[in-house]
Amino acid sequence: MALRLGDIAPNFKAETSQGPIDFHEFIGDSWTILFSHPDDYTPVCTTELSAVALSYADFQSRGVKLIGLSANNVDSHAGWIKDIDNLHPEGPKLDFPIIADESREVSTLYGMLDNLDKTNVDKKGIPFTVRTVFIIDPKKVIRLTLSYPASTGRNFPELLRVIDSLQLGDKHKITTPANWKKGDKVIVHPSVQGEQVKELFGDKVETVYPYLRFTPDPSTAQA
Ligand code: BEZ
């Protein structure tokens, strides 16, 4: 059965570009983003990994670990990482592990294999992965999944935006509206009713409908 939001991210052991890992040990008590890309030495994947290497500090500042995956071996990853780093010679080098999942063990466990693009296969015709993302919280609970086709590079700032929303929602009883970004107004969680509204948000609640109540972003709101 497909992995669902709320499931514990299944554990596995794997070889990576930075040595062997046990996934649960790797997560430890951090937020983690596990993301697959189809194949080493392919154009869209190269631009994606370069973009992630360049924005790695933004993930680290939010306490997020990154781990990539493609169905190639460690030697292939090592050569390809040089190409990725050469794409942005002035920027930081790629400094997170990429799982070497030539056997498709992890990609099968996480439902990452391509069933759409019949050209996205290895020389034996075995599917590579699509562009899957799992955001996993410090309790190892899956909090977001995304699957993009091999043809479409992802928007990594969107993952930072989701992290900001999830971390804020875990701390305060709020949700975030469409197209929200850090600093914008947030929504009082529907479970907050009666006296609790004032207790948690004081007078700073703008009620549009009884079920749609905005309040300033608690992480940036002035006292
Ligand atoms: C790419 O990264 O460009 C790519 C990989 C597999 C299939 C299609 C595109």
Residue 78, number of CB atoms within 10 A of its CB: 13
pLDDT above 90 as % of the chain: 98
Give the number of the atom of ligand 1 that is nearest the alpha carbon of residue 128: 6
pLDDT above 60: residue 223? no
Q: For ligand 1, is residue 151 a contact (CB within 6 Å)?
A: yes
**8 Å CB contact between 88 and 49:** no
pLDDT band at 222 (very low <50, low <70, confident <90, very high): low
Q: For ligand 1, is residue 145 a contact (CB within 6 Å)?
A: no
Q: Are β-strands 142-148 and 174-175 bridged in parallel, bridged antiparallel, or unpaired?
A: unpaired
Residue 112, number of CB atoms within 10 A of its CB: 27
pLDDT above 90: residue 1? no
* Mean per-residue pLDDT of the chain: 97
Confidence at residue 220, expressed as pLDDT on a 0 to 100 scale: 87
Residue pointed to by tokens 């570009």: 17
Q: Which amino acid is at 180?
A: W
**Order of strands across the sheet that contains 31-36:** 98-100, 64-70, 31-36, 131-136, 142-148
3-class DSSP assignment, residue 132: strand
Give the residue whose CA is nearest to atom 1 of ligand 1: 44
For the record, the structure tokens of 68 come out as 């990539």
pLDDT band at 100 (very low <50, low <70, confident <90, very high): very high
pLDDT digits (tens, 9 = 90+) for 33-69: 999 999 999 999 999 999 999 999 999 999 999 999 9
The pLDDT of 80-106, averaged and rounded, is 98
Q: For ligand 1, is residue 45 a contact (CB within 6 Å)?
A: yes
Q: Which amino acid is at 36?
A: S
Residue pointed to by tokens 């914008």: 184
Lowest mean pLDDT among 93-102, 119-128, 190-199, 214-223: 214-223
Q: How far is the CA of 122 from the centre of ligand 1 (A)?
A: 12
Give the number of the atom of ligand 1 that is nearest the alpha carbon of residue 43: 3
Q: For ligand 1, is residue 32 a contact (CB within 6 Å)?
A: no
Mutate-to-test residue for ligand 1 from 50, 70, 115, 151, highest number of ligand atoms within 8 A of CB: 151
Cα–Cα distance for residue pair 80/100, rounded to 1 Å: 12
E-strand ranges in the chain read 13-14, 21-22, 31-36, 64-70, 98-100, 131-136, 142-148, 174-175, 186-188, 206-209, 212-215
Q: For ligand 1, is residue 174 a contact (CB within 6 Å)?
A: no
Q: Are β-strands 174-175 and 186-188 bridged in parallel, bridged antiparallel, or unpaired?
A: antiparallel
The residues that are catalytic are: 45
* Angle formed at CA 70 by CA 66 and CA 72, multiple of 5 degrees: 135
Residue pointed to by tokens 């290895």: 122
